[in-house]
Amino acid sequence: MRKTEDFSISFEVSEYSRNDKNKSWRFVYDWLDSLIYAILLILLIFAFFFRVVGVNGDSMNPTLQSGDWLTVSAITNEVKTGDIVVITQPNSLNEPLIKRVIAKGGDTVNIDFIEGTVTVNGKILYEPYIAEKTEISGDYVYPLEIPEGYIFVMGDNRNDSLDSRFRTIGLIDERYVLGVAETRIYPFGDWKINNDK
């Protein structure tokens, strides 16, 4: 009788131990499964909805500072004048650019480097976002008509920005616009991009 009881107790302990191990493995499996789905979801969001881009340089001061991190909308039906965009068109700097759209295809740009004003289609732009008046001319002759499918971009730090005023950057083919800057995620707490148009 004693042997039967010992066997029964031993069997119950062994069964309990096996169930405990199964629960542990089930927990690890469920955790890994959730982690994989979360990573796939993040990759899909980044691929189809938005990207995170860092600002390098001072060409967009005072709106953006070097070291800022931005979310960039990857779904852009149409780039608008005044949008801050990320550009992947090959250039002399061999890096993506972050600039403001000044004019689009069909627009005519004129810059008065004495007055420091930028005119699009005969209207002087209201530009509260620039660091100072536009005094650096670049190597284009104005007025300049922008062909369809292209945009003319400039940095907000007009006198320290390599942009569409220079042939080394030139007019930007719209197909090379990665997206429109939406939100500043770093530094923390300073979310809004001053995007007055």
Looking at residue 188, its amino acid is F
Residues ≥6 apart with Cβ < 8 Å to 18: none
For the chain, 197 residues long, give each residue's pLDDT as a single digit of tens. Answer: 455 455 454 545 455 556 666 677 777 777 887 888 777 766 665 556 678 889 999 999 999 999 999 988 876 668 999 999 999 998 878 889 999 999 999 999 999 999 999 999 999 999 999 999 999 989 999 999 999 999 999 999 999 999 999 999 999 999 999 999 988 988 877 777 765 54
d(C-alpha 155, C-alpha 148), whole Å:
21
Rounded to two decimals, what is the model's pTM? 0.75
Active-site positions read 59, 99
Q: What contacts 24+ positions apart, CB below 8 Å, involve 168-173?
A: 168/91, 168/92, 169/91, 169/92, 169/97, 171/146, 171/147, 172/87, 172/89, 173/89, 173/149
Query: Which helix (H) or strand (E) segment is 42 a member of?
Result: helix 2-48
Domain residue spans in the chain?
Answer: 1-48, 50-186
Looking at residue 159, its amino acid is N
| Residue closest to 132 by CA, chosen among 104, 167, 102, 159 | 159
What kind of architecture, by CATH, is found in domain 50-186?
Ribbon (2.10)
Please return the burial class of 145, using the count of CB atoms within 10 Å of its CB with bins 0-12, 13-18 and 19+.
exposed
Cis omega (within 30 of 0) for bond into 62: yes
| Residue closest to 71 by CA, chosen among 94, 90, 95, 98 | 98
